[in-house]
Structure 1
Amino acid sequence: MKKPTIARCSFLLVFALLLSAGAFAQDEKPKSPPATATGEVNGANITIKYHAPSVRGRAIWGDLVPFGEVWRAGANDATTFETDKDIKIEGKPLPAGKYSFFIIAGQTESVFIFNSVAKQWGAYDYDESKDVLRVTVPSQETSTMEEQLVYEVVEDGFEVRWEYGKGKAHIE
């Protein structure tokens, strides 16, 4: 009968640790899960991909998301906005394509930004010179609490809602 060697025992120990770590990691749900909003507006297919953080007792607008600063409009990777046709947002043209989407939040109005660099991590490498379109939309306060960030493609545009705040852009 062979005696177990130190190398073999070490291998089995490391293998067991990796297996148990993988089992524990699967129980943990992401704090900002990936989400997608899709819909059709005036014949254009719109897809918004984002990571949806939760409020979790924090003050959002003006605090976690400071007023007057570029925000990635979600968590993790920058949010992306894709249209398969040329459209107009708030009356301004946006060519068909995929864009990163940012917001400069404000108390009474916010700026929605469509940037040509679709794949970026957060707003760390955001370059204003790559902006394709900026539009100003009213910042609205709602009576309904949205615990988790949500985007929704609606009949005449798209909405972003989180905590007690809402912004809506019209699409033609």
Structure 2
Amino acid sequence: MRNLRLFRVLLLLVMGILWAGHSQAQDAAKEKPSPAATATGKIGKATVTVAYSSPAVKGRAIWGGLVPYGQVWRAGANEATTFTTDQPLTVEGKTLAAGTYALFVLPTEKQWTIIFNKTAKQWGAFKYDEKQDALRVPVTPRKAASMAERLVYEVTPQGLVLRWENQEALITLK
């Protein structure tokens, strides 16, 4: 009788462990809400890499909504987006030294300020410190040719393109 009770307890324990492992495997298979993404390319001799988390629109108003106008935005989701160049670059006509920076955007309806901040490792923009800005440049967003459900960055021969929802901005790099 005692052996039977012990057997049942052990059987339940083993079944519980197997069920818990199966549930975790199911969670791992689900797509992350804002998966990690990277955009890399050459601008002249420089290799440029943007590392970011790519949130989705999911039916939300992005510009002026989820990303409020007049507030510094982390330019992605989760940790701050990082911008790395292995050579000095000219960004919208201003010099940016080689290095890794947190990339932020300060959007308004008509113009965005692109911010390269010296504190690359940050969670979002919660501890953003303007005193650590290496460079700020203005860019003019435009209506994108098509709707982008996920935030995407693209390094092109002209520079860095940020595209999300129905807006895009080209940050000229040389």
TM-score, length-scaled by structure 2: 0.91
Give the Cα–Cα distance (whole angstroms) in 2 for the partners of residues 138 and 86 of structure 1.
23
- Tell me whether 1:161 sits opposite 2:153 in the alignment: no
Residue correspondences, number? 172
Q: List alignment gaps of at least 5 residues for structure 2.
A: none
- Residue of 25, 28, 35 corresponding to 1:26: 28
Runs of 4+ in 1 over 4 A off after TM superposition: 5-11
State the Cα deviation string for residues 125-145 of structure 1 (Å, max 9, x = none): 111111111000012122411
Contact 1:106 1:139 in 2 (8 A): no
Q: Letter of the aligned partner of 2:65 in structure 1?
A: D
CA distance in 2, matches of 1:99, 1:11: 50
- Opposite residue 92 of structure 2, the aligned amino acid is E
Verify the 8 A CA contact 1:100 1:114 in the aligned structure 2. Answer: yes
Alignment of 1:64-103 (within 5 A): 64-103=66-105
Answer yes or no: is the 8 Å Cα contact 1:102–1:112 preserved in 2: yes
CA offset at residue 164 of structure 1? 0.7
For 1:120, give the aligned amino acid.
Q
Q: Please list, as runs of the form range in 1=range in 2, the aligned pairs for 1:1-172 lying within 5 A after superposition.
A: 4=6, 8=10, 11-172=13-174
Task: Name the Cα RMSD after superposition.
Answer: 1.8
Deviation at 1:15, TM superposition (A): 2.1
Q: TM-score, normalised by structure 1?
A: 0.92
Percent identity at matched positions? 42
Greater fraction of residues in helix: 2
